[in-house]
Structure 1
Amino acid sequence: MTHYIAIIEDAGPDFAVGVWFPDLPGCFSAGDDLDDALRNAPEAMELYLEDFEQDGKPLPKARSLRELKADPEVAPDLANYMFAVIQLRDRADAAE
């Protein structure tokens, strides 16, 4: 199963917890707290990737944590924020 690394920014109790995917530019989600944000992240990823499938484009390559840490644009975010691995459901399961 494919998975993507999500970066999670928790700016405190007065702000939503933000989630974004370095390998999926423009794909983001949020929640009132960490648990809520992590519950919302897979749905955001699924909706984002549906556009790729509908346009007949291949899914973006999911980089490993090691690859992301080597990327100078992503490394600072990984050093400053939490991250999570969000698993992409099998595409046959996503249709259900």
Structure 2
Amino acid sequence: MPRYIALIDGEPGAYGAAFPDCPGCTAMGETMDEAIRNAGEALREWIGDRLSAGLAAPEPRSADALLSDPDQAEEVRAATLVATVPLLLDEGRAVRVNLSLDAGALAMIDRAARERGVTRSAFLVSAARDKIALEG
């Protein structure tokens, strides 16, 4: 899964994230963590729009590659935080799968999904996205 570098700047209550490899793709948040979470959604939408328009997703560069680029190095050094954000794209088509789960775990999943007003599938996809975004 590709991971893009996000540059985080700002102050408590108003942080912004920008992607050097995705010009114009930005996100905001009251905390750095919220800005990074929102950056993941912004990246997904930005790349999705690009793909829908028939354009390719830009190749993500590493932090070292950005530091080696004279046009980007100063921005990277000036950032308050440099984060990597995974690209979690949907393909727009559902695929049926067969899973085996512990009965207690399934009951917990179903209860949590009901409390959130979503289907079991939507809950599991959301949980998987969250886990991947946090841990890669």
Shorter-chain TM-score range: 0.7 to 0.9
Q: Which has the higher strand share?
A: 1
TM-score (norm 2): 0.62
Distance 1:36 1:68 in 2: 24
User: 1:18-57: per-residue Cα shift (whole Å, max 9, x none)?
Assistant: 1000000000001011111111010000110111111121
What are the ranges of 5 or more consecutive residues in structure 1 without an aligned counterpart? none
TM-score (norm 1): 0.86
User: 1:63-83: per-residue Cα shift (whole Å, max 9, x none)?
Assistant: 111110011121112112111
- Say which of 33, 41, 45 aligns to 1:35: 33
Once the two structures are TM-superposed, the CA of residue 94 in structure 1 deviates from its matched residue by 9.4
- Matched with 1:6 is 6
Distance 1:5 1:56 in 2: 23
- Matched with 2:83 is 84
**Higher gyration radius (CA):** 2
Q: Which has the higher helix share?
A: 2
What are the ranges of 5 or more consecutive residues in structure 2 without an aligned counterpart? 95-124, 126-136
**How many residues in Structure 1 have an aligned counterpart in Structure 2?**
94
Give the structure, 1 or 2, with the largest relative contact order (CA under 8 Å, sep 6 or more): 1
Going from structure 1 to structure 2, the CA distance change for 1:8 and 1:33 (only over 3 Å counts) comes to same
- Matched with 1:74 is 72
